[in-house]
Chain A
Amino acid sequence: MVLLLNEEQQLLKDSAEGFFETKAPVSELRRLRDDRSETGYNPALWQEMAEMGFAGLLVDENHGGLSFGYVGAGVLAEEIGKNLSASPFLASAVIAAPLISLLGTDDQKETLLPLLSGGEITATLAVDETGHHSPASSTLKAEAIAGGYKLSGMKTFVPEGATVDKIIVLARTPDKKGNEHGGFSLFIVDRGTKGLIVDPVVMADSRGWAKLTFEGVVVQESALLGKEGTALDALNVILEKANVVIAAELLGIAQHCLDKTVSYLKERKQFGVLIGSFQGLQHRAAKLFSEIEVTRSAILKALQSSDSPQGPGALSNIAKARACKTVELATNEAIQMHGGIGMTDEFDMGFYIKRARVLQNLYGDYNYHADQFARKSGY
Chain B
Amino acid sequence: MSDLEKFRSETRVWLAENCPSLMRTPIQNDADTCWGGRKFVFQSDDQKLWLERMGAKGWTVPTWPKEYGGGGLTKAEAKVLSEEMQRIGARSPLSSFGIWMLGPALLEFGTEEQKLEHLPKIARGEIRWCQGYSEPNAGSDLASLATKAEDKGDHYCVTGQKIWTSYADKADWIFCLVRTDFSVSKHLGVSFVLFDMESKGVSTRPITLISGNSPFCETFFDSVMVPKENRVGAEGAGWTIAKYLLTHERASISDMFGTVSLSDLAVEKRGVEGGRLKDGMLRHQIAEHEIDRAAFLITLERAADEAKAGASLGAFSSMLKYYGTELNKDRNELVLKAAGSDAFEWEGQFSNNGELAKSWLRSKGNSIEGGTSEVQLNIISKRILDLPA
Contact with B along A338-379 (1 / 0, CB 8 A): 000000000000000000000000000000001101110111
Among B295, B376, B386, which residue has its beta carbon within 8 angstroms of that of A322? B295
Q: Are B291 and A262 in contact (CB under 8 A)?
A: no
Cα A375 to Cα B287 with chains together (Å): 9
Q: Kindly state whether residue A283 has any CB partner on chain B within 8 Å.
A: yes
With a CB–CB cut-off of 8 A, which chain A residues contact B381? Answer: 282-283, 285-286
Q: Are B385 and A286 in contact (CB under 8 A)?
A: yes
Cα A297 to Cα B380 with chains together (Å): 18
Q: Are A300 and B302 in contact (CB under 8 A)?
A: yes
Q: Which of B148-156, B188-196, B269-277 contacts A (4 or more CB under 8 A)?
A: B269-277
Q: Are A298 and B298 in contact (CB under 8 A)?
A: yes
Contact with A along B265-306 (1 / 0, CB 8 A): 011000010011100000110111011101110110110011
Known: A266-B387, A379-B272. A318 touches B295 (CB 8 A): yes
Q: Are A374 and B301 in contact (CB under 8 A)?
A: no
Q: Are A373 and B298 in contact (CB under 8 A)?
A: no
Q: Kindly state whether residue A176 has any CB partner on chain B within 8 Å.
A: no
Q: Are B267 and A379 in contact (CB under 8 A)?
A: yes
| Minimum C-beta distance from A68 to chain B (A) | 21
With a CB–CB cut-off of 8 A, which chain B residues contact A374? Answer: 263, 276-277, 283, 286-287, 290
Known: A277-B388, A283-B381. A379 touches B298 (CB 8 A): no
| Minimum C-beta distance from B270 to chain A (A) | 10
Q: Kindly state whether residue B4 has any CB partner on chain A within 8 Å.
A: no
Cα A285 to Cα B379 with chains together (Å): 12
Q: Which secondary structure dominates chain B's binding surface?
A: helix
Q: Are B290 and A373 in contact (CB under 8 A)?
A: yes
Q: Kindly state whether residue A146 has any CB partner on chain B within 8 Å.
A: no
Q: Kindly state whether residue A51 has any CB partner on chain B within 8 Å.
A: no
Q: Kindly state whether residue A287 has any CB partner on chain B within 8 Å.
A: yes
Q: Are A293 and B388 in contact (CB under 8 A)?
A: no
Q: Kindly state whether residue A301 has any CB partner on chain B within 8 Å.
A: yes
* Interface hits, B334-389 → A, CB 8 Å: 374, 376-378, 380-382, 384-389
Known: A290-B319, A374-B283, A379-B263. A276 touches B387 (CB 8 A): yes
Q: Are A322 and B292 in contact (CB under 8 A)?
A: yes
Known: A265-B387, A293-B299, A298-B298. A379 touches B309 (CB 8 A): no
Cα A377 to Cα B263 with chains together (Å): 8
Cα A293 to Cα B320 with chains together (Å): 10
Cα A265 to Cα B381 with chains together (Å): 11
* Interface hits, B169-211 → A, CB 8 Å: none
Q: Are A282 and B291 in contact (CB under 8 A)?
A: no
Known: A277-B388, A282-B377. A298 touches B277 (CB 8 A): no
Cα A317 to Cα B381 with chains together (Å): 30
| Chain B residue with the shortest CB-CB distance to A320 | B291
Interface residues on A, range: 35 or more
With a CB–CB cut-off of 8 A, which chain A residues contact B266? Answer: 379
Q: Kindly state whether residue A2 has any CB partner on chain B within 8 Å.
A: yes
| Chain A residue with the shortest CB-CB distance to B309 | A4
Known: A279-B378, A294-B292, A301-B298. A285 touches B322 (CB 8 A): no
With a CB–CB cut-off of 8 A, which chain A residues contact B64? Answer: none
Cα A266 to Cα B384 with chains together (Å): 13
Known: A262-B385, A317-B291, A373-B290. A2 touches B374 (CB 8 A): no
Please report the total number of B residues contacting A with Cβ < 8 Å: 43
Q: Kindly state whether residue A274 has any CB partner on chain B within 8 Å.
A: yes
Contact with B along A207-219 (1 / 0, CB 8 A): 0000000000000
* Interface hits, A255-306 → B, CB 8 Å: 262, 265-266, 274, 276-277, 279, 282-283, 285-287, 289-290, 293-298, 300-301
Known: A286-B381, A289-B384, A290-B322. A379 touches B295 (CB 8 A): no
Q: Kindly state whether residue B323 has any CB partner on chain A within 8 Å.
A: yes
Q: Are A373 and B287 in contact (CB under 8 A)?
A: yes
Q: Are A371 and B287 in contact (CB under 8 A)?
A: yes
| Minimum C-beta distance from B115 to chain A (A) | 30
With a CB–CB cut-off of 8 A, which chain B residues contact A285? Answer: 381, 385, 387
| Minimum C-beta distance from A371 to chain B (A) | 7
Cα A318 to Cα B302 with chains together (Å): 16
Cα A321 to Cα B388 with chains together (Å): 33
Q: Are A290 and B291 in contact (CB under 8 A)?
A: no
Cα A206 to Cα B374 with chains together (Å): 40
| Minimum C-beta distance from A321 to chain B (A) | 5
With a CB–CB cut-off of 8 A, which chain A residues contact B275? Answer: 375
Cα A266 to Cα B276 with chains together (Å): 48
Q: Are A283 and B377 in contact (CB under 8 A)?
A: yes
| Minimum C-beta distance from B271 to chain A (A) | 11
- 27 A–B contacts, CB within 8 A, in A order: A4-B305, A262-B386, A265-B387, A277-B388, A277-B389, A279-B378, A282-B378, A282-B385, A283-B374, A283-B381, A285-B381, A285-B387, A286-B319, A286-B322, A286-B378, A286-B381, A289-B319, A289-B380, A289-B385, A290-B319, A297-B295, A297-B299, A298-B294, A370-B287, A370-B288, A374-B286, A379-B277
Q: A277-B388, A373-B290, A377-B263 are in contact. List 18 more A-B contacts (CB 8 A).
A: A3-B305, A4-B309, A276-B388, A282-B387, A285-B381, A286-B319, A286-B322, A289-B384, A290-B380, A293-B319, A318-B291, A322-B292, A322-B295, A374-B287, A377-B287, A378-B263, A379-B266, A379-B286
- Interface residues in chain B, defined as those with a beta carbon under 8 Å from any beta carbon in chain A: 263, 266-267, 272, 275-277, 283-284, 286-288, 290-292, 294-296, 298-299, 301-302, 305-306, 308-309, 316, 319, 322-323, 374, 376-378, 380-382, 384-389
- Interface residues in chain A, defined as those with a beta carbon under 8 Å from any beta carbon in chain B: 2-4, 262, 265-266, 274, 276-277, 279, 282-283, 285-287, 289-290, 293-298, 300-301, 317-318, 321-322, 370-371, 373-375, 377-379
